[in-house]
Each structure stands twice: as C-alpha cells, then as structure tokens.
Amino acid sequence: MNTYGKTFRLSIFGESHGPAVGIVIDGLPPGFAPDMGEAAREMSRRAPGQSALSTPRAEADAVEVVSGLFEGKTTGAPLCAMIRSTNTQSEDYQKNLPRPGHVDYTAHIKYKGFSDYRGGGHFSGRLTAPLVFAGALAKQLMPNVKIKAQPILIGGKPPSEETILSAKADGDSVGGVIECAVDGLPAGLGEPFFGSVESCLSALLFSIPAVKAVEFDYGFKLADMRGSQSNKTPFGILGGITTGRPLKFTVAIKPTPSIAMEQDTVDLATNQPAKITVAGRHDPCIVPRAVPVVEAAAAIGLLDLWLTGGFSTAMVTTEIYA
C-alpha cells in the first residue's frame, strides 16, 4: 500500500517522530552514478526551518544510502535511503485530542488507536522527503525532460510572502495552487485506462498530504469549451498518452490544518467536546515546500511509465553513460 510503480518501484516507510523515514527504490538501472549533491539540493528545497515562512523544526534531511550503491554507482539491487530524525518535540502532541482538518482522527479509527499520533505519524508531510530524493534520481535518469513547478496562487492571490506572514501573524494558515510544466517528453508514454498518464500522476499527486484537486492540460476550463475550441488547445496528453507536446498540470493545496488559534475538537477518550490549541512548530503555508514534492511526483510517475512502456533504460540513460 505504501508502494508505487511497475518498473521504477518505491516503498516508503517511517513516522514523523520515529527514528527515521526512508524509501526502498527498486528498478534502478545498474551503472547509474547519481549526483548526490544535486539530490541534496532538491532535498533542501523541501527541508523545514529555512525561513520565517516555514516551520522552525530544523532538519538537515541528510540522506544515508544503505544499499544498492557500490563505488558510487547503482548495482541493480534495491537502493534503500534513510533520513534520520534529529529534531523532534513530541510533547507538542496530545494523543486524545485530534487536530481539526488533520489525519489524527481518521488514522486513530483506521489503526484502532495504535497509530503513532505524534506529528501525523506515518501520514506526516515528512514522508515526502524520501519522495523528493526518489524524484531527484528520476530527474537525473531523464536528462532531457524538464520538470518545473511553481506556486501560481497563495491564499487566493498571486504569491507573496506578505499573504503568508499575515496569516501567520493571525495564528492562521493559507493554502494555494501549484502549476507544473513538463517539457521534453516523447509521444507515446502512458498506458490504457488505469495506467493513463493522468491516472498515474494523479495517484502520486493525491498521495502528497494536503493536495485536494488535480487538473491536467486546461482542466476545468476544457469543460466550458466547445469541441471546436478544445480540439485546438495544445494537449500534453490525449487518451491518457503523451502527445510529445509540453504537459501541464495544476494542483490545489489546502491550508495547513495545524494553526495556533484555539479550535473545537473531541476528546477521543471521553467522546466529549474539547478545545485544542495546537502548539508545535508548523508551516503557516506549506505551498512553497510542496513545490519540489510536486516535481518529484511528476518525475517518479513519468519515469515509471517511461521504463514500463517499452522505452528501454538505455534510451533514458544515454546521456548519463556518455
């Protein structure tokens, strides 16, 4: 269930306040020398504690590779990468008071009270760190493909730090919209139906905590067009298969549910109404840190389709080996 991919296969593990989060990546071609410095740069785009806009929980997010690399090159065996947790404040979380708008209640029900409730446990946004690492490798394996995401709306307005800082000052939070453009894909990626490019990418994108909507190409705008107009738009995907034209998609990110204001909740032990004031260190806006995660999801999904769909590894990695 915590696994993605047919050919480029990922398995993620870890809890926010556990010893480590990590990933096993299977299906890497042998002989690939990942640029670990470049991967670290991708990781740092997502890492917390970098500015007043994000949580003050500072984590270096250093990646330890414990398998699958030998003399700097992939061996063909699974690559396991771990990211140790170094800066946790678990006392900020209260087992019986689920935070509104958060996974706390649903995870409690699903796992019969045994889930690790601290910081969202296994459902934490911290699990996107290993995804960004996998995405960094995927990008390097498709050197001619350019994947570039950016916020286009924050709090309903063109992105500005002011919107975020204003929400933070109020003990509140804001969400936003991220657009991602992908250039350089060949025509013919994707599989029929449940393996369509949209199906694969949306499954990955909706696995990013806080994503609540995904559009491809012109998305909802297409629904308002006539066919004569729609047929002239430059689709990146038709019938679930890439056209060879640039691909564009958009995701909606809901506001961080962990806010400083006092909120209503229910005490799970007594089943009585209760008040909660979320302490802890939280992002007033997760959108900037979600940008590299969206890119990683795109890279992972597209590389898997690439390798699955009869496009050989050699084609992907030609430049790497040259």
Q: Which one of 52, 141, 239, 248 is in contact with a second copy (CB under 8 A)? A: 239
Confirm or reject binding of residue 119 to a second copy (CB under 8 A).
no
319/271 Cα distance (integer angstroms): 60
51, 62, 73, 161: which one binds a second copy (CB under 8 A): 73
Please identify, using beta-carbon distances, which residue of 31 and 41 lies nearer to a second copy: 31
Q: 128-141 in b/e burial notation, b at 16+ Cβ within 10 A?
A: bbbbbbbbbbbbbb
Q: CA 155 to CA 232: how far, in whole Å?
A: 32
Alpha-carbon distance of 18 to 85, in angstroms, equals 7
Structure tokens at 108: 């409690």
- Give SS3 for 233: coil
| 281 makes contact with a second copy (CB under 8 A) | no
In this complex, which beta carbon is closest to a second copy, that of residue 135 or of residue 257? 257
Strand partners, 273: 266
Amino acid at 220: F
**Which one of 116, 134, 145, 293 is in contact with a second copy (CB under 8 A)?**
116
Check residue 310 for interaction with a second copy (CB under 8 A): yes
- CB 249 to a second copy: min, Å: 9
Query: Which residues pair with residue 272 across a beta bridge?
Result: 267
Q: Which residue has the tokens 């061996």?
A: 75
Considering only residues 142-161, where is the footprint of a second copy by CB under 8 A?
153, 155-156
Closest CA to 142 of 52, 220, 242: 242
Instruction: Say whether 143 sits in a helix, a strand or coil.
Output: coil
Contact flag: residue 207 with a second copy (CB under 8 A): yes
115 binds a second copy (CB under 8 A): yes
224, 270, 271, 322: which one binds a second copy (CB under 8 A):
224
- Residue corresponding to tokens 């990695």: 317
Does the footprint of a second copy cover residue 225 (CB under 8 A)? yes
Interface with a second copy includes 174 (CB under 8 A)? yes
Of 47 and 317, nearer to a second copy (C-beta) is 317
Can you tell me which of 36, 49, 263, 266 binds a second copy, judged by CB under 8 A? 263
Residue from 87, 192, 279, 318 in contact with a second copy (CB under 8 A): 192
Q: Please report whether residue 271 would count as binding a second copy according to CB under 8 A.
A: no
Q: Which of 50, 53, 58, 78 binds a second copy (CB under 8 A)?
A: 78
Determine whether 272 is exposed, middle or buried from the number of CB atoms within 10 Å of its CB (0-12, 13-18, 19+): exposed
Figure out which of the listed residues 41, 44, 62, 67 binds a second copy, where binding follows CB under 8 A. Answer: 67
